[in-house]
Structure 1
Amino acid sequence: MPQWLQLSLITGGAIAIIALLVFIRRQMVMLSENRKRQHKAEAFQAKRRQDMIDSIHVIAMAIEEDQVEYSEACLRIKGLLDHVEPQLMEKPPFRVFMEVYEQLRHMPTHQARQDTEARFVDKMDKERFAVEKRHADEIRRAATAIRNHPF
């Protein structure tokens, strides 16, 4: 085999090796960046979940100390539990949060409530207070249970 062919093959092989090394290095960097991104996303999700759990505990304490309307608390806890542990609302005593939500979900909130006629708002408030009164003991028991629940 001529010497120039040997040199060409050696050079071609060296170029291929260098190209493969560059490719492998880029892949390693990408994998490392993806791992960092994934860890960051997992940490964010874990913090977000813990913040929601803390919010549930605060709302439960507010219920126990009668610092919040039970209907408002049930709606908020139900919304948080949807993200944290939705299957919990199927179990007693936590089922009351879903029951109250189901009975009140047709009522307008926020701006829609402000835009609603006062007479209709008064009627809804009476209905809401009746639901709260009917479930008050269950709500208090559920609040104590959820505050002590290990998430």
Structure 2
Amino acid sequence: MYSIFLKEGASVSELTMTIMIVVGVLLIIFLSAFSYKKYRILKSIHAEKALQTERVLAMKKEKYIHVQDSLRILAKALTADQLGVIEGAIRIKVLIDHYDPELHYEDDFKIFSEISKQTEHIPILKEWKNLDKLSKRKYEALMAEIASTKGDDVKKATASLEVQLNRTTH
């Protein structure tokens, strides 16, 4: 019966064949259990990654909504003259960086980047406090000039931004 595995004239006892079959079956059972365990581990890892991705997307959406709301508030404040043109334009520019950087390339919104570039050399916070009066006046004159020449453009861009933001709802 097992003669194909044996050399001519050799004989294999039934005990040896039974042992080989049992070892083979045990090996199959072990490998099946091992494969199943690996499958469960991979399935668990995949589920954890999916959950993590879902959390990250939820956080991104929450951040996006927060930035969108902040843009709405700034736009309303700038439109109502509750916020200066320079400060408003710079803050809106920074938020647009997080909201949708592609907006900077649209003609309606380029003014925010322009004002930011024109004023980026002006010291802020502690550096501003440490300036002498003459330097402060010089920078204030520059900011007043920018505000007077670009103020209408900023308000127009802000109105366009409000329209854009109202199109996208939570």
> Under TM normalisation by the shorter chain, which class is it?
over 0.9
1:63 match = 78
- Consecutive unaligned residues of structure 2, counting only runs of 5 or more, are 1-15
- Consecutive unaligned residues of structure 1, counting only runs of 5 or more, are none
Measure how far apart 1:41 and its partner are.
0.4
2:35 match = 20
Superposed, 1:1-151 pairs within 5 Å as 2-149=17-164, 150-151=167-168
CA RMSD in angstroms comes to 1.3
Q: How high is the TM-score relative to the length of structure 2?
A: 0.84
Structure whose CA Rg is larger = 2
SS in structure 2 of the partner of residue 67 of structure 1? coil
**Any idea what the Cα deviations from partners look like across 1:43-90, whole Å, max 9, x if unmatched?**
111111111111111100001110011100100111111122122122
Q: How many residues align?
A: 151
Mapped partners of 2:21, 2:128: distance in 1: 85
Q: How high is the TM-score relative to the length of structure 1?
A: 0.94
2:13 match = none
Q: Which has the higher contact order (CA 8 A, sep 6+)?
A: 1
